[in-house]
Structure 1
Amino acid sequence: MANEPSWDEIFRPSGEPAGSDRTPTTPAPATGLPGVRADDPFAVAAAEARTQQPAAPASGTTETLTRRQLREQDEAGARRGGSGSTPPKQKRRGRTALVIVVVALLALVGGGAATAWILFEEQVREVMGWELPIDYVGDGNGVEVDVTISSGQIGSDIATTLYEAGVTMTYEAFYELLLGLDEQPVFIPGTYALEEQMSAQAALDALLDESNRKVNSAVIREGLTLSSYVELLSAGTGIPVEDFEAAVADYTSYGLPEDAVSLEGYLFPATYEFDPGVTAREIIQMLVNRTFESLDAAGVAPEDRNRVLTIASIIQREARIAEDFYKVSRVIQNRLAIPMLLEMDSTAQYGVDEQDSAFSTAEQLEAVNGYNTYKREGLPIGPIAGVGDLAIDAALHPVDGPWIFFVTVNLDTGETLFSETVDEHDRGVEQLKAWCRETDHPAC
């Protein structure tokens, strides 16, 4: 292995051949270091550093060890308990000189002091005995990071999450901040918009600021069908419609009653907020569970869920005013008790996937399917729409009354006439037709 070049050779003027002698016009002051000029601070520092390195062991060869070999030998000596190594003070002086030389050379080459510090901060701090920082300063570098806090996580879990996401410099920065607080904060589960390289305090403040919590929302109202719910959920969450369609197609996997034929009526209408990353299947299960909660709270036995939701869905589609929900429920029960066909237009229209008209067509009324109660005896095979708590309560508690018929005569106000005879009902139908002629309502 060849000897390393001397510092004089490194700094030889361009074009001067190796080994050539140059005699300075003014003799350089003596330094006590062979071959080193006192007016060359980098050469002095490097030579001083080399004099502090341990001598190469006798091996029968005159080969000079490189700086890397000397460093490895020094580290090996330290692992053996320090035997054969230089005293700590001399070792630190030597390392200090080497770091100064490296950083100074880097600055001279053109990288500048800032580059030198960025590249060698850790080494310089180690040599100088300066502690490394554990925390960033400021509110972040502008690069957004989504951080999710799960239910049941404690401070140490959150500290780990922040560090692994690149928000905080170290785990200790956030965890030690929490330990120093007089009162521990309450973290609300969810996904939060933070930034990379935030101070621990800035990260804590951001997690406690509700405005940083990211949510996707969807408003699901009563009386809509499953296909409408799928579209609303997709629009509110950004999850493709196809994902929801696939999720609802597998309706038997959500714990529905054995007599359920689809998820229609089993997605509870409400305003929902969903954390980013939730799947279509998880959302559907959430809405199904919410329906079960309402049924359980109303005292509905699991085996009666499909029947109650079916009645409630007809009420939801037919009634306009809260008090009429209970009257429509009574009409259904009276007709079932006679027995006679329910003849609900909402079921005839649902059976052919057409809705929102005050009058059913002949085609709708004559269609034979599991929902058209103009042709089918008893209840439809399942719900025809999503239902709220009011409809569920009305299905369970119909008001007393003799009514067999009803018709809404004003679609704007929801005014509805309930009657016992066909003649009374026919007069109500004519009243609705007259109202439609005088208005431009889309349902007429």
Structure 2
Amino acid sequence: MSRKPKRRFGGIVFLLLLIVAGACFLAWQHYGSFANRPMPGIASGSSVLVERGDSLPVVLRKLRTAGVETGESIEWRALAHQLRAAGKLQVGEYPLDPKTSPRELLVAMRDGKVIQRRFTIVEGWNIRELRAALARAKPLTQETAQLDAAALMKTLGHPGQHPEGRFLPETYLYTAGDSDLDVLRRAYGAMEKALASAWERRHEDTVLKTPEEMLTLASIVEKETGIAAERPQIAGLFERRLKVGMLLQTDPTVIYGMGSNYNGNIRKSDLQTDTPYNTYKRAGLPPTPIAMPGKDALEAVANPAPGEALYFVAIGDGSGRHLFARSLAEHQANVSRYLKNYRAQQGRAAAPTAEKQ
């Protein structure tokens, strides 16, 4: 009789252990389901931004504010501890999609797998176009909007330097939290390297005296043609003009000197107006670059094509290509050919309009 209470007590203990084990099993199943189940309420293409100083509870509040059903905070803390992400959430913008689970999101935040965006500086852009494009780039932090050209270069660490041509046309990656100054610093450094490399490879009898002159001439070559194969030819032509003391007489420099007054056409009065950038009036190179030259334009100026041509004019057939000439008489014949092709192009463009009337 004395052993029955012990058996009864042992049975109660066993039952309690079963209940605890069952509860633990259910809790583990629920935890596993929470960790790997997509979070309801995520809008396709959305994201969450982790800012400096954000804790896990702050991030969860941001998710809830965006309509995401996050579940219990204790589960997130346990998962963060398991994944060794607690206190290690990296700053940045993280992508969300309807299939994102808590585990995937915490791993991404732990490893810094942030959204990377692209900003491309286009070959031939001038500094005004570059700054306007930067102002439209999201979510770049805007730090230069109130800076004029002089203040901008001072902020970048190059006081007294003109900004034109100083930023290499390439595609740059950036993340949330980066600023327009961050992109400009990288583009400036890339141009410095590209220019130094081109200057080291320059042909031995170049008329150019400094890397800055190379940058200026490369910017003119960049604006004169979009045909890659022509760049070395045009670079060689301008070098020969500089050597013999001829005026460069290049329209892009005149246009640059006109600034906001340029409306798409150059008039005879514009060619006769003396500005530092009017190469029809002033000998040599203009005082600064007129655009952002790409690596191909720098290479063309470093190693221009040999030849005797001193003149060139567009073919006028819409291809963007040019006709090159050694003498003024040959050039005048090419100009006549250009005008003929141009008028034919204009006639073909107007024909459909005339048919509709």
* Alignment size in residue pairs: 289
Aligned to 2:170: 270
Asked if 1:362 is matched to 2:263, the reply is: no
Aligned to 2:180: 280
Aligned to 1:417: 323
> Per-residue CA shift, 1:63-91, capped at 9, x if unaligned?
xxxxxxxxxxxxxxxxxxxxxxxxxxxxx
> Per-residue CA shift, 1:357-382, capped at 9, x if unaligned?
6x732122122222111112210111
Aligned to 2:120: 219
The CA deviation at 1:194 is: 5.2
CA contact (8 A) 1:219 1:272 kept: yes
The CA deviation at 1:352 is: 0.4
The CA deviation at 1:275 is: 1.4
Work out the CA distance in 2 between the residues paired with 1:193 and 1:244: 28
Work out the CA distance in 2 between the residues paired with 1:439 and 1:142: 57
CA contact (8 A) 1:147 1:162 kept: no
Aligned to 1:253: 155
Q: How does 1:43-442 map to 2 (within 5 A)?
A: 137=35, 138-140=37-39, 142=41, 146-148=48-50, 162=56, 165-166=59-60, 169=74, 173-178=79-84, 190-193=92-95, 201-204=103-106, 213-237=114-138, 243-244=144-145, 246=147, 248-249=149-150, 250-256=152-158, 260-261=161-162, 263-299=163-199, 304-353=210-259, 360-410=266-316, 412-440=318-346
> Per-residue CA shift, 1:386-409, capped at 9, x if unaligned?
111100101111111111111111
Compare the two structures and name the one with the higher helix fraction: 2
The CA deviation at 1:424 is: 1.1
Work out the CA distance in 2 between the residues paired with 1:265 and 1:175: 51
User: Quick one: which amino acid aligns to residue 264 of structure 1?
Assistant: E
Q: What do you get for the CA RMSD once the two structures are aligned?
A: 4.1
The CA deviation at 1:241 is: 8.3
The CA deviation at 1:316 is: 0.4
> Per-residue CA shift, 1:196-236, capped at 9, x if unaligned?
xx9752324655999x8434433332112221122222223
SS at match of 2:339: helix
User: Quick one: which amino acid aligns to residue 177 of structure 2?
Assistant: G
User: Quick one: which amino acid aligns to residue 228 of structure 2?
Assistant: A
CA contact (8 A) 2:199 2:211 kept: no
Q: TM-score, normalised by structure 1?
A: 0.55
| Alpha-carbon spacing, 1:397–1:356, altered in 2? closer, same or farther (3 Å) | farther
| Alpha-carbon spacing, 1:242–1:424, altered in 2? closer, same or farther (3 Å) | farther
Aligned to 2:19: none
SS at match of 2:94: strand
> Per-residue CA shift, 1:228-282, capped at 9, x if unaligned?
1222222232669894462645223324496x42x11112222333212322222
Once the two structures are aligned, what percentage of the paired residues are identical? 24
| Alpha-carbon spacing, 1:352–1:245, altered in 2? closer, same or farther (3 Å) | farther
Q: TM-score, normalised by structure 2?
A: 0.67
| Alpha-carbon spacing, 1:145–1:339, altered in 2? closer, same or farther (3 Å) | closer
The CA deviation at 1:177 is: 2.0
Q: Between Structure 1 and Structure 2, whose CA radius of gyration is higher? A: 1
The CA deviation at 1:333 is: 0.8
User: Could you say which structure has the greater relative contact order, defined with CA pairs below 8 angstroms and 6 or more residues apart?
Assistant: 2
| Alpha-carbon spacing, 1:172–1:369, altered in 2? closer, same or farther (3 Å) | farther
CA contact (8 A) 1:370 1:376 kept: yes
Work out the CA distance in 1 between the residues paired with 2:146 and 2:339: 39
CA contact (8 A) 1:314 1:347 kept: yes
Structure 2 spans left out of the alignment, 5+ residues = 1-26, 64-72, 202-208, 348-357
User: Quick one: which amino acid aligns to residue 287 of structure 1?
Assistant: A
Work out the CA distance in 2 between the residues paired with 1:356 and 1:367: 16
